[in-house]
């Protein structure tokens, strides 16, 4: 808001962006061109083995020409931005970054083959748990409670889903167990933060530590001795009739398990609920100005309790996804920081569900690109590739896309007069 109100500032920002775009173009020329031999060719394939989508052939082109084309396109965008300026600078920034990544892929896949459909598919799959973590954060923080314990809630959710799904041999019971466990951990945060007004960062950290210790103990005490408790079934893929036959996109987006569709549905539902329902309006009012809501008869404490518990359930689902989608077992510390990356996605997505999905996809893409590149044996140390998702987090948090504004009462306990 405030940024756009000062014309001089936005002019300066527009100019900076234009120069940045030109630097991207230069980057393509300097970083990728020199190590490309004239005769090399890049092959992008769009195959998804198990899918029944309409097949299309591979895209094969000379690497040098592809890179030059992309560099010219990027440079042109930069020049246009400098001279004329685009209305929607952030969208254009996204496009330019996309071009740069495409150039990178072109270079990385020279004399080799890169499966773009597979890349999109795995980006989406890796984005799902991050999205659920971010959604959990959105639910809590929109009502004014910082939830740094998402990681812990996911971990307990993962544990509970493994046990529940194994015992009942049903993935659905796994989801129920995860939601209960996540909700239980969240109710602990809610009581600490709302009733006892404990510092919310401390309370969230305590939950993370508790979850690590608790699941670690239960795992070694029970699951490892009775492996039947840790043998859950997994979701099977359910291609959506018709849509999954679309070339390229179909197998990448519409051939997933029910858990992925559920996540997409949750995003839309929460987005709509937040901005078009009574619950959403009250939630946002409580997160922005709890006293104002209180004076109008809105129950601030109840609203926060409900939102934190719902948020915990969503985080639990995120944990369940990790177990029930592919791994089919609980492992200690299996969330591996996804809860925290989800928090970053929430901030990057400006506390909106749709935005959270968008930023989660970026993190998911960085993550899956990293594994692909490791296979392609490109001359970048694998340690750097492993850093990619976290580097993306840091860059995003440093505010590449402009400042995002948290709910005004985020993290502030409400005291009645």
* Residue ranges binding another protein (CB under 8 A): 1-3, 5-6, 8-9, 276-279, 281-282, 284-285, 288-289, 291-298, 408, 416-417
Shorter beta-carbon distance to another protein: residue 3 or 58: 3
Task: Give the C-alpha separation, 120 to 124, whole Å.
Answer: 6
Closest to another protein by CB, 68 or 404: 404
Q: Measured between alpha carbons, how far is 85 from 69 in angstroms, rounded to an integer? A: 22
How many residues in the chain?
417
Give the C-alpha separation, 144 to 172, whole Å. 31
Nearest-approach distance from CB 297 to another protein, in angstroms: 3
Classify residue 29 as exposed, middle or buried by CB count within 10 Å of its CB (0-12, 13-18, 19+): middle
The least distance separating another protein from the CB of residue 294, rounded to whole angstroms, comes to 7
Nearer to another protein, 6 or 169 (CB): 6
Q: How far is 41 from 65, CA to CA, in rounded Å?
A: 9
What is the smallest separation between the CB atom of 288 and another protein, expressed in angstroms? 5
Nearest approach, Cβ of residue 304 and another protein (Å): 16
Identify which of residues 282 and 372 has a Cβ nearer to another protein in the complex.
Answer: 282
> Contact, 183 vs 312, CB < 8 A?
yes
Least CB distance to another protein at residue 406 (A): 11
* Spatial separation of the C-alpha atoms in residues 11 and 19, rounded to whole Å: 13
Of residues 177 and 287, the one with the C-beta less far from another protein: 287
d(CA 141, CA 133): 12
Q: Are 41 and 110 in contact (CB under 8 A)?
A: yes
Nearest distance in Å: CB 351, another protein:
11
CA dihedral (267, 273, 279, 284) positive or negative: positive
Closer Cβ to another protein, 9 or 195, answer by number = 9
């Amino acid at each position: 808001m405030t940024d756009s109100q000062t014309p001089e500032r936005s002019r300066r920002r527009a100019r900076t962006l234009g120069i940045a775009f030109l630097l991207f173009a230069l980057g393509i020329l300097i970083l990728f061109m020199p190590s490309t031999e004239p005769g090399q060719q890049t092959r992008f394939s769009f195959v998804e083995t198990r899918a029944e989508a309409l097949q299309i052939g591979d895209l094969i082109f000379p690497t040098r020409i592809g890179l030059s084309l992309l560099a010219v396109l990027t440079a042109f965008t930069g020049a246009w931005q400098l001279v004329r300026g685009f209305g929607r600078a952030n969208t254009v920034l996204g496009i330019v970054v996309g071009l740069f990544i495409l150039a990178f892929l072109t270079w990385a896949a020279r004399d080799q083959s890169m499966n773009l459909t597979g890349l999109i598919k795995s980006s989406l799959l890796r984005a799902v748990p991050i999205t659920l973590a971010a959604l959990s954060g959105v639910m809590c923080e929109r009502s004014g409670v910082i939830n740094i314990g998402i990681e812990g809630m996911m971990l307990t959710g993962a544990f509970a889903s493994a046990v529940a799904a194994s015992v009942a041999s049903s993935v659905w019971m796994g989801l129920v167990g995860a939601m209960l466990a996540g909700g239980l951990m969240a109710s602990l945060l809610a009581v600490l933060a709302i009733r006892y007004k404990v510092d919310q960062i401390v309370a969230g950290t305590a939950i993370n530590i508790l979850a690590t210790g608790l699941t670690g103990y239960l795992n070694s005490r029970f699951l490892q001795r009775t492996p039947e408790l840790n043998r859950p079934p997994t979701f099977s893929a359910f291609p959506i009739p018709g849509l999954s036959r679309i070339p390229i996109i179909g197998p990448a987006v519409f051939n997933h398990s029910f858990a992925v569709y559920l996540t997409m549905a949750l995003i839309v539902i929460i987005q709509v609920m937040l901005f078009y329902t009574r619950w959403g309006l009250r939630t946002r009012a409580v997160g922005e100005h709890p006293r104002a809501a209180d004076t109008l008869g809105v129950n601030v404490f109840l609203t926060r309790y409900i939102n934190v518990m719902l948020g915990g359930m969503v985080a639990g689902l995120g944990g369940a996804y990790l177990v029930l989608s592919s791994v089919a077992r609980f492992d200690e510390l299996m969330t591996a920081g996804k809860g925290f990356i989800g928090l970053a996605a929430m901030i990057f997505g400006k506390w909106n569900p749709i935005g959270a999905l968008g930023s989660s996809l970026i993190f998911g893409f960085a993550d899956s690109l990293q594994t692909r590149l490791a296979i392609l044996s490109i001359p970048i140390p694998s340690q750097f590739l492993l850093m990619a998702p976290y580097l993306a987090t840091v860059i995003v948090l440093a505010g590449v896309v402009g400042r995002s504004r948290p709910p005004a009462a985020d993290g502030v306990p409400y005291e009645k007069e």
